Amino acid sequence: MAAIWWYLQRITGAMLLVLLVLHFWVEHFVSESLRRGDLTYDAIRARIVNPWWQATDIAFLLIALVHGLSGARNMVLDYSRIGRRGAQVATVLLCGAGIVWAWWGIEAFGNLR
Amino acid sequence: MRNVFRKYSGAFSGMLAHTIQRMTGIVLLVYLFLHVRTIYALRDGPQAFDRAVAEFRGPVFKLLEIGLLGVVILHALNGVRITLIDLGVGQTRQRQLFWIGSIGLGALIFLAGAIPLFRSSVVGR
């Protein structure tokens, strides 16, 4: 079981690297105003009406959450002595946090769709 | 915890890289939280969102943003290094991979991004 997460951490990491470069490019680089850091509602809206961009952004969030919370779980299990039961509780709590967090991020686009 | 550090102290054995990866990982997770929090203002319309983003236009936040760039680059390149070693590439060269790949190449990419960012958003305002 641990081995699956080990590999998943590498695979999600590689995906995040690609998505991060893309994200940086479209939000901070493509135009003069974006290079100044002036990201506006209208600029985001113009991009988000495209369902492919929406799917890309949501995928970015979900993959980042799997990678980040799985990493957080590794740290909790490494630096604490909570035993098997405690590890299960930590896993359930982090999964719950991930679901709420994902919902929170997806809902942010709720009024743009 | 102290035993863990003692075990790996002394010669470079990847412990520094490991610690950097964990520290930067925590920073990025906290950042992701703040990022979603700001993006959530999209729900309240253009004025609310532009106001939420405007909070981060000050020079202090711009400097923090440049710091974030450094954190992301370190975490990403060190992650690439870990993945390469896992795949069996450069297993006997992991120390060089760290100093040249993660730190050296990372510093170059960081400067390429940080200098224009600094000029346009901190000096230029």
What pLDDT shows up at residue A90?
94
Question: pLDDT, tens digit, for every residue of A54-104?
Answer: 999 999 999 999 999 999 999 999 888 888 899 999 999 999 999 999 999
What pLDDT shows up at residue B86?
84
The answer to whether A111 contacts B42, with C-beta atoms less than 8 Å apart, is yes
Residues of A in contact with B49 (CB under 8 A): 40-41, 44
CA pair distance B61, B46, nearest whole angstrom: 21
Tokens 């954190």 -> residue: B71
Average pLDDT along chain B: 85
What pLDDT shows up at residue B7?
53
From A12, A101, A108, select the one nearest A60 (Cα to Cα).
A12
Residues of A in contact with B45 (CB under 8 A): 41, 111
**Please, what are the domains in chain A?**
2-107 (1.20.1300)
CA pair distance A88, A79, nearest whole angstrom: 15
Question: What predicted TM-score, i.e. pTM, was given to this entire model?
Answer: 0.88
Q: B45, A111 in Cβ contact below 8 A?
A: yes
Q: Which of A68, A105, A110 sits opposite B28 (nearest CB)?
A: A68
CA A76 to chain centre: 19
The answer to whether A107 contacts B43, with C-beta atoms less than 8 Å apart, is yes
What pLDDT shows up at residue A64?
98
**Please, what are the domains in chain B?**
2-123 (1.20.1300)
Question: pLDDT, tens digit, for every residue of B44-73?
Answer: 889 999 888 888 888 888 899 899 999 999
Counting DSSP H helices and E strands in chain A, the numbers are 5, 0
ipTM at complex level: 0.92
Average pLDDT for A43-62: 92
SS3 sequence of A49-65: CCHHHHHHHHHHHHHHH
What pLDDT shows up at residue B92?
80
